[in-house]
Amino acid sequence: MTIKPYVRKAQFHETDQMGIIHHANYIKWFEEARVDFMEQIHYGYDRATEAGIDFAVLSASCEYKSMTRFNDTVAVECRITSMEPSRMSVLYRVLDVATGELRATGETRHCFYSRIRKRPVALKKELPELYDLFKSLAGPNETESK
């Protein structure tokens, strides 16, 4: 299965007075890319939430490599680098579509939270089908791809 990068435009309301996209927005773009990723693997995020499982965020980080400006089109690549029964890590690369220039890299780590039991749970146990799907897509955290 080939996952296509998530493509979107940088919006005017995402700019700040420095004339660039405000850095907090990249964290939102990572989330949008995750949601798009799940749609591409035919297991929509909403299907998990409807089953009572939320993806809690344990950490989020972003390294800003160059500036994105209003109306630029960016591609956000996202890749699972670690899949454990109750945790996962996702790496991101944000590229400018027109020039191919790297805009940012980032990582988020997640656990799985049951809305019904109100506590973290093992995805492997709760949604084994999704766990296996994620596991099959998890690749090595190669240095060069970061």
Question: Which stretches of the chain bind its own copies, using CB under 8 A?
Answer: 9, 11-13, 15-20, 22-25, 27-28, 31-32, 35, 44-46, 49, 54, 56-64, 70-71, 113, 115
DSSP per residue over 11-25, as a string?
A: PGGGB-TTSSB-THH
Shortest Å distance, C-beta 10 to its own copies: 10
Least Cβ distance, residue 29 to its own copies (angstroms) = 9
| Nearer CB in complex with its own copies: 9/125 | 9
CB of 36 to its own copies, least distance (A): 8
Q: Tell me phi and psi for residue 11, to 5 degrees.
A: -95, 155
> ∠20-22-28 over CA atoms, to 5°?
130
Nearer residue to its own copies within complex by CB, 75 or 135: 75
- Three-class SS of residue 117? coil
Q: How far apart are the first and last CA of the chain?
A: 21
CA distance 108 to 78: 10
User: 87: closest CA among 117, 135, 61, 123?
Assistant: 123
Give 58 or 116: the residue with its C-beta nearer to its own copies: 58
Give CA separation, 115 vs 34, 38, 70, 146, in Å: 20, 20, 38, 34
